[in-house]
Amino acid sequence: MILRLAFRSLMARALTVGMTILAIALSVALFLGVEKVRTGAKASFADTISGTDLIIGARSGSVQLLLYSVFRIGNATNNLTWESYNDIAARPEVDWIVPISLGDSHRQFRVMGTTSAFFERYKYRAGRSLAVAQGLLMDDLFDAVIGADVAATLNYKVGDPIVVAHGLASFVAHDDQPFRVSGILEKTGTPVDRTVIVSLRAIEAIHVDWQSGAKIPGQSTPADVIRQMELEPKAVTAALVGVKSRLQVFGLQRAINDYPQEPLLAILPGVALQELWQIVGIAETALIAVSGMVVITALIGMMATIFSSLNERRREMAIFRAMGARPRVILSLLVLEATLMAAIGAIIGLALLYAGLVVAQPLVDAAFGLWLPIDPPSLRELWVLVGVVAAGAIVSMVPALRAYRMSLADGMMVRI
């Protein structure tokens, strides 16, 4: 009886009630959308590199090693000598190893020297491999494969020339040995998108006429002569390692950390990523707080709407009282109306969220490499919906108590 009465009362004020429900729905959709983006960003962050068991570099900190080897942020304190690299590669626990050489740049984008194995072994988003959107992988010594962001920002196409600068903030360029864009990678949402990838031999090739960080005056070796050179590196910045058995990871890590020839550090990428997320994770707390305030604002708006309608509904409440309705029935009616508005708003907000995800998922993935999963509502999200409905009932108690205290005479007497 009271439920049917509440529905009819809401229908009688369809416009005002509809606007209130829409505000709640949009706030719920925003809150749950932020939650989806947060979990998607965290998952994408954790999946920046997958399938790699260890990252090896000069001894420093685990986060620092992760930052410069994976995210191309900062610089290495030292390099890993080629002799040590080969020694580690020859260990029986190692299934594969990929060297990484950093230090040069191209118009504020990092240049990374590596081998063709990088395109096979580097995985992201739970095992996805790098794919070429245009062109081919490196074939010639002076071929370069560029990430999607590099191509989009600099408007590069396959076949365009690239001149690598020496160092990160240097005005000295290796213009005597230009590269050619041989391929453009698909968008990944990882630091690979902002990287120019060349062969490890090419890094040595452009430094043939260099010594102690400066070009040797008057010396310029022809490219054909350079192609015939062995071009074996003396050192690399870091290395990605995969082991034959996961049971061997900690033993290999300990052996590398205790390596007697030079001070080295081996880190577990997943552990280092969690450490790094704890540092930057304050942003997700801020996002949740802002979206939570939006929900609270919508609920306060609903309470204000109920308050503003009390004067218009005094005669209605008085008639209920005259027909024998107890004061608690009036209170229950207003609380039930608010609860229904909050529940309908929460359901519509959930529907808006999933409709938005269906539309935005491929667009966000293509533009930012951020995968937003379309999964059934999690237990956390269901509790959010329950919390919104409960909060709607709670905030309605304030105007409901005022209506409860209205006297029958005050309701029957129209004030002008």
Indicate whether 223 belongs to any domain: yes
Do 184 and 35 have their domain in common?
Answer: no
Q: The pTM is what?
A: 0.74
Do 220 and 294 have their domain in common?
Answer: no
Q: Does the structure show a pLDDT above 70 at 309? A: no
Confidence of residue 273 (pLDDT cuts 50, 70, 90): confident
Do 121 and 26 have their domain in common?
Answer: no
Mode of pairing for the β-strands spanning 54-58 and 214-215: unpaired
Confidence at residue 415, expressed as pLDDT on a 0 to 100 scale:
46
Q: Does the structure show a pLDDT above 70 at 296? A: yes
Mind spelling out the 3-state secondary structure of the chain?
A: CHHHHHHHHHHHCHHHHHHHHHHHHHHHHHHHHHHHHHHHHHHHHHCCCECCCEEEEECCCHHHHHHHHCCCCCCCCCCEEHHHHHHHHCCCCEEEEEEEEEEEEECCEEEEEECCHHHHHCEECCCEECCEEEECCCCCCCEEEECHHHHHHHCCCCCCEECCECCCCCCCECCCCCEEEEEEECCCCCHHHHEEEEEHHHHHHCCCCEECCEECCCCCCCHHHHHCCCCCCCEECEEEEEECCHHHHHHHHHHHHCCCCCCEEEECHHHHHHHHHHHHCHHHHHHHHHHHHHHHHHHHHHHHHHHHHHCCCHHHHHHHHHCCCCHHHHHHHHHHHHHHHHHHHHHHHHHHHHHHHHHHHHHHHHHHCCCCCCCCCCHHHHHHHHHHHHHHHHHCHHHHHHHHHCCHHHHHCCCC
Quick one: average pLDDT of 150-169? 90
Confidence at residue 144, expressed as pLDDT on a 0 to 100 scale:
96
Task: Kindly report, residue by residue over 333-377, the tens digit of the pLDDT.
Answer: 777 888 888 899 999 999 999 999 999 888 877 776 677 778 888
Indicate whether 340 belongs to any domain: yes
Q: Does the structure show a pLDDT above 80 at 314? A: no
Q: What range defines the domain where residue 251 resides?
A: 54-267
Do 131 and 240 have their domain in common?
Answer: yes
Confidence of residue 274 (pLDDT cuts 50, 70, 90): confident
Do 249 and 114 have their domain in common?
Answer: yes
Q: If we measure between CA atoms, which residue out of 392, 361, 391 comes closest to residue 374?
A: 361
Indicate whether 272 belongs to any domain: no
Give the contacts of 184 (CB within 8 A, at least 6 positions apart). 132, 133, 134, 135, 145, 146, 147, 148, 151, 156, 157, 158
Do 214 and 354 have their domain in common?
Answer: no
Confidence of residue 408 (pLDDT cuts 50, 70, 90): very low
Give the contacts of 371 (CB within 8 A, at least 6 positions apart). 40, 43, 44, 125, 189, 361, 364, 365
Confidence of residue 411 (pLDDT cuts 50, 70, 90): very low
Indicate whether 273 belongs to any domain: no
For the chain, what is the mean pLDDT? 84
Quick one: average pLDDT of 208-228? 78
In the chain, the number of structural domains is 2
Do 223 and 352 have their domain in common?
Answer: no
Q: Does the structure show a pLDDT above 90 at 242? A: yes
Do 41 and 73 have their domain in common?
Answer: no
Task: Kindly report, residue by residue over 370-382, the tens digit of the pLDDT.
Answer: 777 788 888 888 8
Q: Does the structure show a pLDDT above 90 at 113? A: yes
Confidence of residue 409 (pLDDT cuts 50, 70, 90): very low
Do 250 and 288 have their domain in common?
Answer: no
Indicate whether 70 belongs to any domain: yes
The share of the chain scoring above pLDDT 70, in percent, equals 85
Indicate whether 274 belongs to any domain: no
Do 134 and 164 have their domain in common?
Answer: yes
Do 254 and 162 have their domain in common?
Answer: yes
CB 217 within 8 A of CB 211: no
Do 157 and 254 have their domain in common?
Answer: yes
Confidence at residue 238, expressed as pLDDT on a 0 to 100 scale:
96
Distances (CA, A) of 183 to 64, 88, 132, 136, 271: 30, 31, 7, 5, 33
Indicate whether 64 belongs to any domain: yes
Confidence at residue 412, expressed as pLDDT on a 0 to 100 scale:
46
